[in-house]
Amino acid sequence: MSDTDGEIVISVRGLRNAFGEQVIHDELDLDVHRGEILGVVGGSGTGKSVLMRSIIGLQHPVAGEVHVFGESMIGRDDTEATNVRKRWGVLFQGGALFSTLTVAENVEVPLREYYPELHQQLLDEIASYKIMMSGLPAEAAPKFPSELSGGMKKRAGLARSLALDPELLFLDEPTAGLDPIGAAAFDELTKNLKETLGLTVFLITHDLDTLHAICDRVAVLADRKVIAVGTIPELLALDHPWIQEYFNGPRGRAALGAKR
């Protein structure tokens, strides 16, 4: 597959993942288009994080193909993968900050790694505005991850994932553990980045408000597959029990009401 159509950034075909006997994904297909925010939802343990890990090449699938920016992510070595890695940012579910570096140094790591020619002063400046951008208080920059609260770790992880001004952003439950004001600000930020930088976002979330506020399309993961992809109205038109329960349950309706 090539990048010529310029449309599909991530393409997953026939993906199968298993841990021993336990099959997580089977015959899973998914496309992510350039410039969209794709929300990924599914019950706990349905394999959303594992799907993300297979797309970014951390989890070796049993079968299937994964292409990012038109390049296969399976069975390639690290040097080949750097060109793709430069173009994406990843926020892990647990933040995954480097515990021996301060928040500011964490943000500088990808910059230093890929652009060693940048001067320290510029690095510091870039780190500063990224930290401010992610909504952290200024005092957080010289702190170590163990000195941060759970929500602050999330934001610091976000600042690091944005360090390279990526074209593609993977976010694993970014708003979990944020206060509602912070979560709304986060939605705003993601949307802003998408509009100004043309960012493509792969967003795993349980946050119905986020789904309504910023996602262009939503992919539903269940029964080891992506059972449906589409805008929320499109999904609501399907009569799959889990989807109905999800969007029309008490919380789903509340979020829907707030939207209207």
Ligand X SMILES: Nc1ncnc2c1ncn2[C@@H]1O[C@H](COP(=O)(O)OP(=O)(O)OP(=O)(O)O)[C@@H](O)[C@H]1O
* Contacts with other proteins, residue ranges (CB under 8 A): 86, 99-100, 102, 104-105, 108, 115, 117-119, 122, 124-133, 138, 141-146, 164-165, 192, 196-197
Strand 88-91 to 168-172 pairing: parallel
Query: 30 contacts which partner out of Mg ion, ligand X, other proteins, none, CB within 5 to 8 A by kind?
Result: none
Q: Which of 21, 45, 181, 250 binds ligand X (CB under 6 A)?
A: 45
* Cβ at position 105, least distance to ligand X in Å: 28
Residue 210 within binding range of ligand X, rule CB under 6 A: no
In the region spanning residues 54 to 73, those forming contacts with ligand X, defined by CB under 6 A, are none
* Cβ at position 94, least distance to ligand X in Å: 10
Residue 54 within binding range of Mg ion, rule CB under 5 A: no
Report phi then psi at 54, rounded to 5.
-70, -35
CA distance 3 to 168: 14
Here's the x/- map for Mg ion, 173-202, by CB under 5 A: it reads as ------------------------------
Tell me whether residue 55 or residue 111 sits nearer to ligand X (CB atom): 55
Query: 24 contacts which partner out of Mg ion, other proteins, ligand X, none, CB within 5 to 8 A by kind?
Result: ligand X
Report phi then psi at 237, rounded to 5.
-75, -20
- The H or E element that residue 110 is part of is helix 103-114
Gyration radius of the chain over CA positions: 18
# chain residues binding ligand X, by CB under 6 A: 11
Residue 121 within binding range of ligand X, rule CB under 6 A: no
Residue 49 within binding range of ligand X, rule CB under 6 A: yes
CA distance 67 to 165: 21
Residue 46 within binding range of ligand X, rule CB under 6 A: yes
* Cβ at position 51, least distance to ligand X in Å: 7
Tell me whether residue 188 or residue 223 sits nearer to other proteins (CB atom): 188
Q: Which of 39, 48, 56, 160 binds ligand X (CB under 6 A)?
A: 48
The 3 state secondary structure assigned to 11-54 is EEEEEEEEECCEEEEEEEEEEEECCCEEEEEECCCCCHHHHHHH
- Other C-beta atoms lying within 10 Å of the C-beta of residue 67: 21
Using Cβ positions, the residue closest to Mg ion within the complex turns out to be 49
Q: Which of 11, 49, 134, 210 binds Mg ion (CB under 5 A)?
A: 49
* Cβ at position 245, least distance to ligand X in Å: 16
**Contact partners, residue 231, CB within 8 Å, separation at least 6:** 216, 217, 218
Residue 205 within binding range of ligand X, rule CB under 6 A: no
- Tokens 């994904």 locate to 25
Structure tokens at 246: 């999800």
Angle, nearest 10°, between helix axes 241-248 and 250-259?
A: 60
Q: Is the distance from CB of 103 to CB of 136 less than 8 angstroms? A: yes
- Residues near ligand X (CB under 6 A) are 19, 24, 42, 44-50, 93
